[in-house]
Structure 1
Amino acid sequence: MRFPPPEVMATWPEPNYIDPVRRGNESIIIQAVLVALVVLFVSIRLYARLAITKAGIGLDDVLIVIAAIVGLGLTAGVILAIHNYGWDIHVWDLPPKDSITSRKVSWASMLLYLTSSSLTKISILVFYLRILVEKKDKLITKITLGAMIIYYVVLLIVLFAQCRPLPYYWEILIAGAKGTCLDEGVHMVTAGVLNLIFDLIIFAIPLRSLFTLKIRTTQKLQVISLFSVGLIVIAAASIRLYYNVVVFLQTYDVSWYGYVAWLWAAVEVHVSIICACVPSCRAFFASWTVRGSSKNRSGQGTYPSKPGGRSFHNLDAEEDARLTSVKMGSMARVEAGSVKSGVSGESEETREGVRVQMEVLQYHEGVGDKRGGVMV
């Protein structure tokens, strides 16, 4: 914690403990909306995995559920601190009696943010390991996953060990309290920079495979757009990092600017969870699209087509003449090769054409389509 020098405190106005200037209710409203969206998207993801793709619950699904629960705890803590402990007022208007509790909530919120954010990234990387089949992509994903786990463990240790004893973190404001603390600003800003780097790497990992997919351009754009929502997370993490620099290194009015920093921390956490669910949720939305279109076309796209599973005709009506069948898949892989590709290790399926299996899209191209598949 940065203690303001006497000359800075001398410039502060008289404290107003009765009716201080407040930020407003924007943070509470935004976080309430985000919580509702998180619950909705996580529910759709689980439903799609269990009822539509019949894939069952995977480790990435379990991790994202835990991340969502922890994220809800973060939102509850931030809203509580804003409402009761002055996280939306100037530091000179913060009653001394609330300072200690405010520091306790701050420490708990950092723990919740770190856990939810890290679990979401780990969940996405586990998801990548399921859908990426190129050895190079898998290797990069595994290295990133290992580094992400190390990042989480190290920051967890720093969080618990930054003050000795730990209660000194919030007792530091009590006269006569004894203890020592690390420079909070250094490790918080460093952690923010590393967090942003991980976001960039996670966003970039699948891009090469997605851009080289040999599928219709409109479908390729659809798939790429599902993964491009991660740009929103990168933007939120960048803004949060900026305000962390302000709070920990530039200003002493930590409660006033910390309000914005914690708002963007909550936005980053919840948007990350939503973005992690988007690819799996496409099965749900595609099923309703096909269900609706099947009502308008006799003899095509029945839903479901057979007991124990759901099959879909082409998601794009213009491709009916080219694609022989379309259905949602429980695995996400692309087996590369065509009848003329000459790629070693071709299966019986690839001799018939190029088979693309993804949780978001599965189709089978006939032999007449000369375009080869690219592994994703």
Structure 2
Amino acid sequence: MGVPTASQVAYMKAHASDDRSVSLLLGSIIPVVLASIAFVLRFVSRQVGGVKLGLEDWFIMAGMFLTVAAVISLGVTMHYGLGRHIIYITDAKGFAISCLVRYVLYPSSVCFVKLSILAFYCRLFPMKWLKRTSIALGIFVILATCTKVSGDIFQCIPVDSAWNPKTHKRCMNFVDLVIVSGVLNIATDLIILVLPMPALWRLNMAKVKKWELTGMFLAGGLVCIISIVRLPIVQKLRSNDPSWDLFGPFTISQVESCAAIIAACVPTYRPLFNLVVYGDANKDAQPTSKTGYRFSGSAQSAETESSTELTVEKDIKHDKGYVTGEEECSMDIHVSRSFAIESTWTVDRHPERATSDMWALPV
């Protein structure tokens, strides 16, 4: 932040009534309300589908909490003068600290949303390469976020020099840090967007379903567009009138984090959709990949002691590769959500018989 020139000060005095408070509130509250609705529907869908909460759900909870906290911090910053010209700031310390909190909350919330999506991939797809890639990308996202947050806090040393102009300070080029962080953010967004596509298109399901699922995953492309649009806007941080010019960066950042939450929640809505449209949250069958096998046999319930004729489709491997021909194998599996069963299955190697519908996965 620089010092306003004489002409800039004269302009500010001539526009003393300028106030962006209403626009700031609308630009933050509307997106967070939409994100909150998407968030609640996610867990309603989990409930009606009988799907247990996974790591991805805890990550999205953290992301939602931090996003709401960012809106609250925005309100606090407005109390200290955000939305008005800098010469009318009466509490420089309060303004600087509240801005600093806002800087930290944005990358933290986006980080947890990305981790939620990557954990979702690990739960959804069985491919080892995809799980390993997701974990590696998650580690990179965490490290990049820690770097950004550290830069936000220690952009000037000592930290209190941000509100105490008499303190001798050494500062980094904060805008360059924000731009580099923004580029990395866009890159990880794009990778996360395309990462599941090879696995998705290998599933043995109708092409119409594949396109439907692809469309749902590509809804995250909106987040990529917002991230790209955000990049030139954050250069407003070079302003001599930050309390006025931070309107753009703060608003677009809030929109991005909320859009990311919505994109992360939409793929989990299938049980709720099935319940509303068909009256059955678990309408669809469990999926298999193109290397699937059909298992059929009888099972004894450990809880109810009743026999049940079952047909289950599942990928299995021996230590030395996929099973071949027809053979028998014993296994413990989980049926539905309630009990474990023990059974002997006949393995019929006919991948072409396998049917799948990814909508039925525990998403």
The TM-score, its normalising length taken from structure 1, stands at 0.75
Structure 1 segment 257-276 matched on structure 2, within 5 A: 257-276=245-264
Q: 223-232 or 42-51: which moved more?
A: 42-51
Partner of 1:356: 356
Instruction: Give the corresponding residue for 1:56.
Output: 52
* Residue identity matched to 1:265: S
Match of 1:23 in 2: 20
Task: Output one character per residue of 1:129-173: Cα deviation in whole Å (capped at 9) or x when no partner.
Answer: 1112223322322221121121122223333333323222333xx
**Aligned pair in 2 of structure 1 residues 244, 271: CA closer, same or farther (>3 Å)?**
same
Whether the 8 Å contact between 1:243 and 1:258 is mirrored in structure 2 is no
Give the aligned CA root-mean-square deviation in angstroms: 2.8
In 1, the alpha carbon distance for the partners of 2:354 and 2:244 equals 57
Q: CA deviation at 1:122?
A: 1.0
* Match status 1:187 vs 2:188: no
The answer to whether 1:165 aligns with 2:158 is yes
Residue by residue over 1:192-251, the C-alpha shift from the partner in whole angstroms, topping out at 9 and shown as x without a partner, is 111111111111111222344442232222111111111111111112211112333xx4
Decide whether aligned partners of structure 1 residues 18 and 50 sit closer, same or farther in structure 2, where only a CA change above 3 A counts. Answer: same
1:283 aligns with 2:264: no
Contact 2:226–2:256 under 8 Å retained in 1: yes
Q: Distance in 1 between matches of 2:15 and 2:291?
A: 72
Aligned match of 2:63 in 54, 63, 67?
67
Q: Where do 1:105-254 residues align within 5 Å?
A: 105-171=98-164, 174=165, 176-248=166-238, 251-254=239-242
CA distance in 1, matches of 2:214, 2:251: 29
2:37 to 28, 36, 40: 40
CA 1:241–1:25 in 2, change beyond 3 Å: closer, same or farther? same
Alignment-mate amino acid for residue 238 of structure 1: I
Q: Given that residues 288 and 356 in structure 2 are in contact (C-alpha distance below 8 angstroms), is that contact kept between their aligned partners in structure 1? A: yes
User: Does 2:288 match 1:334?
Assistant: yes
From the two aligned structures, give the one with the greater strand fraction: 2
Contact 1:349 1:355 in 2 (8 A): no
State the alpha-carbon separation in 1 of the partners of residues 124 and 278 from structure 2. 24
1:345 aligns with 2:318: no
Q: Does 2:6 align with 1:3?
A: no
Could you say what secondary structure the match of 1:97 adopts? Answer: coil
Change (3 A) 1:87 1:142: same
1:36 deviates by 2.0
Return the letter of the residue paired with 1:128. Answer: Y
SS at match of 2:271: helix
The residue identity in structure 1 corresponding to 2:271 is A
SS in 1 for 2:10: coil
Structure 2 CA distance, aligned partners of 1:57 and 1:22?
44
User: CA separation in 2, counterparts of 1:149 and 1:51?
Assistant: 32
Take 2:289 and 2:205, find their aligned partners in 1: how far apart are those partners? 13
Which residue of structure 2 aligns with residue 86 of structure 1? Answer: 81
- On the 8 A contact 1:50/1:57 being kept in 2, the answer is no
Partner Cα distance (2:14, 2:113) in 1: 39
Structure 1: which amino acid aligns with 2:246?
A: G
After TM superposition, the score normalised by the length of structure 2 is 0.77
Question: Closer, same or farther in 2 for the Cα pair 1:349/1:197, shift >3 Å?
Answer: farther
2:93 to 100, 122, 125: 100
Opposite residue 170 of structure 1, the aligned amino acid is W
Structure 1: how far apart are the matches of 2:54 and 2:98?
33
- SS of 1:167's equivalent in the other structure is helix
Counterpart position of 1:367: none
- Aligned to 2:20, the other structure's residue is in SS state coil
Distance 1:339 1:195, change over 3 A: closer
Q: Distance in 1 between matches of 2:153 and 2:293?
A: 59
Consecutive unaligned residues in structure 1, runs of 5 or more: 292-302, 304-309, 313-325, 363-376
Counterpart-to-counterpart distance in 2, 1:132 and 1:9: 61
